[in-house]
Chains A and B, each alone.
Chain A
Amino acid sequence: GAVVSQHPSRVICKSGTSVKIECRSLDFQATTMFWYRQFPKQSLMLMATSNEGSKATYEQGVEKDKFLINHASLTLSTLTVTSAHPEDSSFYICSARSGNEQFFGPGTRLTVL
């Protein structure tokens, strides 16, 4: 099956710094990628939809200036958490769409101290 990777798998950073998370589709091209956030013991919540070559579409309540998404190629989307704060600590999961299927990455656990 199709594989989606995320890097890094785990990151710890200081408050106020920015963190970039990469999402790659390894063996297929993805015109659309999605970014989800999951707080402890909660469900996955969609943050934004990322389309290659165009601006991301953010869900209501998600700050686009804080969570910068770039979908520069058909195999790579990046999520940058700018000026991270402890409340941004979460599990971030990306997914990539291929036709009618969606494949999830393994997730990135962000801890902001």
Chain B
Amino acid sequence: AQKVTQAQTEISVVEKEDVTLDCVYETRDTTYYLFWYKQPPSGELVFLIRRNSFDEQNEISGRYSWNFQKSTSSFNFTITASQVVDSAVYFCALSPSYTGGFKTIFGAGTRLFVKA
């Protein structure tokens, strides 16, 4: 089965706090892609990162960092020194490359509130 679990429904932090959004996935494919998207109130999905299943290197982009661990099937996302503009819904997604035909499966999303 292909599945993405984001156990945190909502998270509320105060500005400048660090926050980690959890993502656990299931797939039988050996080749797959993992994504994080941001969805602000406008609704448009904003692409944040794509990670190939063969690349377990962690990545940092400004205040954003991602921790990919195949051993635990997790792809967690950390925002350092959060800002009010980070308030949005964040989706983790899985795209199995073979059996899934590149369809993207989304987690339920985590709604992040950053208070000033």
- Identify the A interface with B (CB < 8 A): 32, 34, 41-46, 49, 91, 93, 95, 97, 100-102, 104, 106-107, 109
Contacts and interface: CB of A to CB of B under 8 A. Distances in A.
A102 B44 contact: no
B91 A43 contact: yes
A101 B50 contact: yes
A104 B45 contact: yes
A46 B111 CA distance: 20
Interface in B58-116: 91, 95, 97, 101-109, 111
Interface of B: 33, 37, 43-45, 47, 50, 91, 95, 97, 101-109, 111
Main secondary structure of the interface of B (DSSP, over half): loop
B25 to A, nearest CB: 14
B47 A46 contact: no
29 contacts: A42-B108, A42-B109, A43-B91, A43-B106, A43-B107, A43-B108, A44-B91, A44-B106, A45-B106, A46-B103, A46-B104, A49-B101, A49-B103, A93-B45, A95-B104, A100-B33, A100-B102, A101-B50, A102-B95, A102-B104, A104-B37, A104-B44, A104-B45, A104-B47, A106-B43, A106-B44, A107-B43, A107-B45, A109-B43
